[in-house]
Amino acid sequence: MPGPHDLFARYTFGHPERAAAELRAVLPAHVVSEVDWASLRREPGSVVDPELRETESDLLFTARLRTGHPLLLYVLLEHQSTVDRWMALRMLRYVVRQVERWRQEHPESELLPIIIPLVMYHGPEGAWTAPHRVEALFDLPGREEEKARWRALVPRFEYLLDDLTAEREEALRGRPGPPLARLAWLVLCYGRTEALARKLPDWTALFAQVQADAEGAEHLVVVIRYLLWIGDEAVHAAARRVLHSVLGGQRTEELMRSYGEQLIERGLQQGLAKGREEGLTRGRAEDVLRILTARGVQVDEAARQRILSCTDLATLDRWFDRALNATRLSDVLDDIAQ
């Protein structure tokens, strides 16, 4: 079930005009000048990777350069609270899957389109510190000059990063783009911090600009619903004051009451769904351990806890399949020494 960060980010940046604002803010200037932005289109069914988790979602756009060359723009929206050291490897895998799909759809082509991968990060625990290049993940021997020679031989890949947590508030507010995009950058950046309630009143003018857009009423509802979902009582109170300034008292109370009731109902539904999912993953983890025991494979306490604490059903299914023929623990868990 999609979470609030996923729904809000995809609603905002799934629209080509607002996606263009995000891409223009991050892409090199020479790329921005060469893209025909009027050709930017979101690809339907962009979420094609089965390994995407609750902490992330993706958007795929197509565009053309002014010369007519095709261009793929792959945007990963990263919602997790901790920095993932292996992001470069994961992005490489995601990008390969995108171009493989493109090859299936264009079997006559002898060349691949340019594809530019971008990660937008808004975790609450500080700036992004993971390597941007996959070659930085390899254990290279020797001193630095020797490492450089080895580095030239390993696969090379780099993703762009829009780390909202590293931007100053003034910079995010000053980015070119539609009002909803600018408000979304701010809300995503501060949405899981204690500063949100204090900063919301400072953005009242931006809320008013969102409301003034052609689809402003819908946009404002989406923002408020997100704030009610992620925020505490202080955030709710600050959002109410902002809305009161923009919409007036009666409309504000109607919105707050309506979406407050919806969020309570949705919370109950998500709680039930989460309970069912936790039951499935726990059962599959126990199945993996039972199979390993039956096959006489020794499982130490650290590995046992790792299996039991895994919440990704796809990973557990993979371990389950491997356990059926395993003769040692390393046959199941990739990073266990043989």
DSSP string, 229-255: HH--HHHHHHHHHHHHHHH-HHHHHHH
- pLDDT tens-place string over residues 165-214: 999 999 999 999 999 999 999 999 998 888 999 999 999 999 999 988 88
Is 217 in a helix, a strand, or coil?
Answer: helix
The residue ranking higher by pLDDT, 48 or 71, is: 71
The pLDDT of residue 335 is above 70: no
- 59 within 8 A of 77, measured Cβ to Cβ: yes
Query: Could you tell me the pTM of the whole model?
Result: 0.71
Residue 310 φ then ψ, to 5°? -70, 130
The pLDDT-based confidence of 51 (bands split at 50, 70, 90) is low
- Most confidently modeled of 1-5, 49-53, 203-207? 203-207
| β-strand pairing of 35-42 with 114-121 | unpaired
- pLDDT tens-place string over residues 291-323: 888 888 888 888 888 888 888 877 888 888 888
- pLDDT tens-place string over residues 242-258: 888 888 877 777 777 66
The pLDDT of residue 149 is above 50: yes
Which amino acid makes up residue 119? V
The pLDDT of residue 133 is above 90: yes
Alpha-carbon span 177 to 24, nearest angstrom: 9
Q: 10 Å Cβ neighbour count for 157?
A: 18
Nearest CA to 77 out of 197, 180, 188 is that of: 188
Alpha-carbon span 275 to 37, nearest angstrom: 44
DSSP one-letter code for 165 = G
